[in-house]
Structure 1
Amino acid sequence: MCKPVVFLFLGTSLLYMPCVGSLSIYKHLQNNETILSFGLSTKFYGISQFESNLRYFTPLFIFDIIIYVPMVVSYGVQVILIPFLCNFIATYLEYIQLRLNAIYIESKQTSQSEARLIKLMKGIYQDHYDAMKFVKALNEIFNGVFLVKVAISSFLYCLLFFILTQVEDNYLLIKAVALVICLQLDVLLICIYGDRLITQSLNISVACYDVKWYNASIKFQKMIAMMIMMTNIPLKVTAWDFGDISIQSYGTIMRRTYSYFTLMHNGSEEQEGAKLNQI
């Protein structure tokens, strides 16, 4: 099921990006606008000089169109795949809680079901161990991504908010607001589902305690106690050792953003005031 979705996404990207890139080039040429590409710019003076300028900008935009595809795939991984994986494992932990509730129902039966209860508990042990391995692999793969996001998000948001206060053109303002929303959504989704992963992981210990373990055998009680000890440390995605990815970390990012924005805004006002005094 996953492979067709991945191929559909990649195929759409391969078809969509060249078309958008070509239309963008044609639009800029018609309007005699400056074409920007990864920090480089070229001024075109109309369609009549298209052929004479072709050799200058064609390699540049071929590179642009090619590089758009991995950019879209990379952003799709960050915005869609990482929150999906966090939500998937959180749902899996919620399923483990339901299985623990099923053990409570089983425990109401006769003592002949003791072996079955222990078997069910061993299955839950294995499921939780698989969840731990999954989260460990997720952290090993995306630790660098999380660290970069946490490190640059505050500074990036600060710059964008500062730009919003300086833009006077309504069209540019709408584009800037849309960019801020997209970038905010990127980090917010990861933090929301990362927080859900932590919550569901901690809820397993609560579900273990709700099992009528005190009416079971000593062996079963030890298994429940061991499970509670294992789940006291929640499963979570981290930015290496610099912090957990959760709603609290998103709040920290926004507080830093406000601090940096205030500092930059006050500095800009002081600079403008100094220029006015010189005049």
Structure 2
Amino acid sequence: MNLQKLDPLEGFKPTISMLKIFSVWNSSNMFYKIYKNVTTLSLAITYTCVMICVVVNFNVSEINENFYYIPALSTAPFKLVIFQKSFKKIQNLLFLLQSQYTKIRSEKQAKMVEDSVVLSKRVVKVFAVLVVPTCVGLFGMPLLKDEIKLPLIIWIPFDYHEPVVFGLVYFVISFSGSFTAYINIGTDTFFYNCLIQIETQCNILSDTLRNLHEFGRFEAEIHTILIECIEQYKTILKFTKILSKTYQGILSVQFICSLLSLCLTMYRMSLADPGSEEFLRYFVFQWGVLPEIFLYCYFGHRVLDSTKNLYYSTYELQWYNTSAKFKTNLLIFMGQIQNPIVIYVAGIFSLDLETFKKIMQKAWSFFTALRNIHEQ
């Protein structure tokens, strides 16, 4: 086993590349800074013009028909600002993670790291492909209509109906909108990757505890490995704490906006004719939003399960053949890991599948309420 070839950050490379392309990452390169400022300005102008149009013309029927994508569109600016503000914490996360791969003690544990890298890359690829139909539906389908309109409801402070000007404005809006989608994907998949690595580190720690007497021959050596496991768990807790603080605002914005988008999209789908262009557009958009919050809860649930298994793994080691000092340290460690690692949204809701179930129930309740109001 060559530990030099093991790098848990390998799974982050596609996500970091995406964050760099879509102006979320920080770099000292002058050309990148110029590119980042231009794209960020374009995104800010587009979002501001959309919100001005929504606020000024809130009661117009066209605004109401297209309001379903406003909450989802609003997440990217918030994520961009929060991610930038917390960039030093992001770098600290990567440093902490890289320091953990030296704790790998067997081929089985090395395979765990390799599998986590494969899973991280797969999640990024799936999301990058999944967002394409959403962008095509939102920005491409208006071009198929007899009367072509701008893809987003937006306030433009000049006459844009000349063909060349209209085409340029349409391109800028579509570019900014697609940019928004990939900013969401980049920041989301970075969080998913972090959760995957927390789960992996807990699984490695569990395997070390189960096979403690295989990794150490003598009492002193076994006790040293136990102390290393305790320190490793402290690092996992530190990593989780930094991640929770960094993403607390992002998680709150994401879940509120996703819930609103789901409710509004379901409502618009119920009013549209099945098989129509409108129904298809709403359906595709909804399936762009739904996996986003599902994976937050899914990977959070996996972390929860892995930390529960970590506690139970302490019962599988041969503690009865150890010294009183070892048993004392083991009992103290068991007290520390008795409560599983849970990441909370706004300090209230835990990231697990039960929370996802509750979100879907709330979305259905709000949809039913909107439907009843419309029928009255």
For residues 204-234 of structure 1, give each alpha carbon's deviation from its aligned partner in whole angstroms, at most 9, with x where no partner exists.
1100122221221111111111111111122
Alpha-carbon separation, structure 2, partners of 1:5 and 1:189? 15
Alpha-carbon separation, structure 2, partners of 1:29 and 1:174? 14
Match of 1:125 in 2: 230
Query: 1:252 and 2:367 equivalent?
Result: no
Match of 2:108 in 1: none
2:211 is paired with a residue whose SS is helix
For residues 113-148 of structure 1, give each alpha carbon's deviation from its aligned partner in whole angstroms, at most 9, with x where no partner exists.
100111110111111111111111110110111112
- Mean Cα displacement is larger for which, 188-197 or 205-214? 205-214
CA distance 1:236–1:77, change in 2 (3 Å): farther
Compute the RMSD of aligned alpha carbons. Answer: 3.4
Match of 1:276 in 2: none
Query: 1:162 and 2:267 equivalent?
Result: yes
Alpha-carbon separation, structure 2, partners of 1:231 and 1:74? 35
Match of 1:176 in 2: 282
Question: What TM-score comes out, normalization by structure 1 length?
Answer: 0.77
- Verify the 8 A CA contact 2:296 2:351 in the aligned structure 1: yes
For residues 145-182 of structure 1, give each alpha carbon's deviation from its aligned partner in whole angstroms, at most 9, with x where no partner exists.
11123334333212111111111252221221111111
For residues 28-53 of structure 1, give each alpha carbon's deviation from its aligned partner in whole angstroms, at most 9, with x where no partner exists.
599541214453379976xxx425xx
Alpha-carbon separation, structure 2, partners of 1:174 and 1:99? 51
What is the Cα deviation at residue 202 of structure 1?
1.6
Match of 2:46 in 1: none
- Verify the 8 A CA contact 1:209 1:228 in the aligned structure 2: no
Which of 148, 151, 163 is 1:50 aligned to?
163
For residues 87-132 of structure 1, give each alpha carbon's deviation from its aligned partner in whole angstroms, at most 9, with x where no partner exists.
111011001001011114468x6xxx10011111011111111111
Alpha-carbon separation, structure 2, partners of 1:11 and 1:267? 44
Which of 269, 282, 302 is 1:196 aligned to?
302
For residues 67-87 of structure 1, give each alpha carbon's deviation from its aligned partner in whole angstroms, at most 9, with x where no partner exists.
447524421234422112111
Instruction: Note the residue ranges of structure 2 that are not aligned, 5 or more in a row.
Output: 1-9, 24-34, 43-134
- Verify the 8 A CA contact 1:162 1:265 in the aligned structure 2: yes
Alpha-carbon separation, structure 2, partners of 1:85 and 1:253? 23
Match of 2:211 in 1: 102
What is the Cα deviation at residue 188 of structure 1?
0.2
1:266 is paired with a residue whose SS is helix
Q: How many equivalent pairs are there?
A: 253
Q: Which amino acid aligns with 1:244?
A: S
Question: What TM-score comes out, normalization by structure 2 length?
Answer: 0.59
1:205 is paired with a residue whose SS is helix
CA distance 1:131–1:166, change in 2 (3 Å): same
Query: 1:75 and 2:184 equivalent?
Result: yes
1:210 is paired with a residue whose SS is coil
Q: Which amino acid aligns with 2:321?
A: N
- Verify the 8 A CA contact 1:29 1:44 in the aligned structure 2: no
Q: Please tell me whether Structure 1 or Structure 2 has the larger radius of gyration of its CA atoms.
A: 1
Match of 2:70 in 1: none
What is the Cα deviation at residue 65 of structure 1?
6.0
What is the Cα deviation at residue 57 of structure 1?
7.8
Match of 2:119 in 1: none
CA distance 1:79–1:8, change in 2 (3 Å): closer
- Verify the 8 A CA contact 1:32 1:43 in the aligned structure 2: no
Alpha-carbon separation, structure 2, partners of 1:144 and 1:74? 16
Q: Which amino acid aligns with 1:245?
A: L
Match of 2:323 in 1: 217
CA distance 1:228–1:138, change in 2 (3 Å): same
- Verify the 8 A CA contact 1:34 1:43 in the aligned structure 2: no
Which of 2, 11, 16 is 1:6 aligned to?
16
Match of 2:374 in 1: 268
Query: 1:87 and 2:196 equivalent?
Result: yes
Instruction: Note the residue ranges of structure 1 that are not aligned, 5 or more in a row.
Output: 272-279
Q: Aligned residues: percent identity?
A: 15
CA distance 1:116–1:38, change in 2 (3 Å): farther
Query: 1:226 and 2:226 equivalent?
Result: no
- Verify the 8 A CA contact 2:150 2:170 in the aligned structure 1: no
Q: Which amino acid aligns with 1:161?
A: M
Match of 2:246 in 1: 141
Q: Which amino acid aligns with 1:146?
A: L
Which of 214, 217, 221 is 1:116 aligned to?
221
